[in-house]
Structure 1
Amino acid sequence: MKGLVFTEFLDMVEQKFSAAMVDDIIDDANLPSGGAYTAVGTYPHSEMLALVQCLSKETRLPIPALVKIFGQHLFGRFVELYPAFFHNTRTAFDFLDSIENYVHIEVRKLYPDAELPSFETTRSDNDQQLVMVYRSQHPFSSLAEGLIEGCLYHYQEPAKIDIRDCSQGRGTHVEFHIQRIAA
């Protein structure tokens, strides 16, 4: 997992909780890296899982909720850090459609060793519904859900998201059925 994800996660923890909480979860997680991350480095996914577990223990909030909140935060940061990804899209569905065949290609140019999930999208219901299929080796569908919610918020498009886990609860193969809601 790219260091950018770790640095943004720790920044979010500091903003939403405290700098002391960041120190506490790093200490509690007993990480091989010691919790020293650079945005361009690559680190084991297991370290992110350990950090989230420690944050859940400290805050008594469920892990999926924390990861989803992080996804919402991370989307906002992507808008700030990579504005070029958003210039050619007018709607949330346009952006979500572009992830696999544009955004991920550009990410791989920047970070050739990035381990990215795959996304397949299908529109239906007169362009009012998007089905987004998430597949990953790692159980981060809650992160994808938060990113989708962050995207909908960014484009100011209310929608209902129904989630179908196709991986027996592992969160590695999930269908997001996103239905636009009339404002």
Structure 2
Amino acid sequence: MKGIVFTEFLEMVEETFGLETVDYIIYKSDLKSKGVYTSVGTYDFFEMLSLISNLSEKVNIPVNDLIYAYGLYFFSVLHKNHSNIMDLYETPFDMISSIENHIHIEVRKLYPGAELPTFKIIKKDDDFIELIYYSDRGLYMFAKALMEKTFEHFNKQANIEFELLKDNGSEVRFLITQKNGES
């Protein structure tokens, strides 16, 4: 997993819960990296799981809720660092449906070796998209948060439902309906 995901996660934890909590989860996680990350480095995904699990235990918030909160936070990081990519799209559906064929290609140019989820579009029309999320990491709540922020970015609202196709969250169906007439 790319280091930017770790560095920004620890930034979010510090902003939300304080530096003492960052120190606690790093110490409690007994990380091979010792919690020292660079944005371009590559680190074991199990370190992220350990950090999130220990944060969940410390602040008494479920892991999936923390992953979702991190997705909301991470969208601002993406927007700040890659608004040029976002500016290429006119609608949230344009952007979401371009994840595989454009956005992830650009991410891999910036972060060689990045292991990204796969999104397969099943059905799409003007105000609805059905897609399947595939990832062994099961961070579908992170993806859901990014999708919600995408609609917010375009001043649109949507109803985003999901169904776990595999219990571990490695395969999830998303049904996204844009709310018409609202901005």
User: What is the one-letter code of the residue matched to 2:165?
Assistant: C
Report the alpha carbon displacement of residue 166 of structure 1 after superposing the two structures with TM: 0.8
Point out where structure 2 has 5 or more consecutive residues left out of the alignment. Answer: none
Measured after TM superposition, the shift of residue 122 of structure 1 is 4.2
CA distance in 2, matches of 1:122, 1:80: 30
Q: Deviations over 1:117-145 (max 9, x none)?
A: 11122444x51111121101212111111
- Supply the distance in 1 between the matched residues of 2:57 and 2:36 (Cα, whole angstroms): 21
Matches within 5 A, 1:31-110: 31-110=31-110
User: Which amino acid is the alignment partner of residue 180 of structure 1?
Assistant: Q
User: What is the alpha-carbon distance in structure 2 between the residues aligned to residue 130 and residue 4 of structure 1?
Assistant: 29
Q: Secondary structure at the match of 1:134?
A: strand
SS across alignment from 2:98: helix
One-letter code of the match for 2:128? Q
Equivalent in the alignment of 2:137: 138
Q: CA RMSD in A?
A: 1.2
Structure 2 counterpart of 1:101, one-letter code? N
- Indicate the percent of aligned positions where both proteins have the same amino acid: 39
* Mapping for residues 114-153 of structure 1, pairs under 5 Å: 114-124=114-124, 126-153=125-152
Corresponding residue number in structure 1 for 2:17: 17
Runs of 4+ in 1 over 2 A off after TM superposition: 121-124
Cα deviations by residue, 1:123-174 (Å, 9 ceiling, x for unpaired): 44x511111211012121111111112212222211111111111x201111
Name the SS for the 2:129 alignment partner. strand
Q: Distance in 1 between matches of 2:37 and 2:25?
A: 14
How many residue pairs end up in the alignment? 181
- In structure 1, stretches of 5+ residues that fail to align are none
Task: Output the CA distance in 2 between the equivalents of 1:87 and 1:147.
Answer: 16
Q: Distance in 2 between matches of 1:177 and 1:86?
A: 22
Taking structure 2 as the reference length, the TM-score comes to 0.95
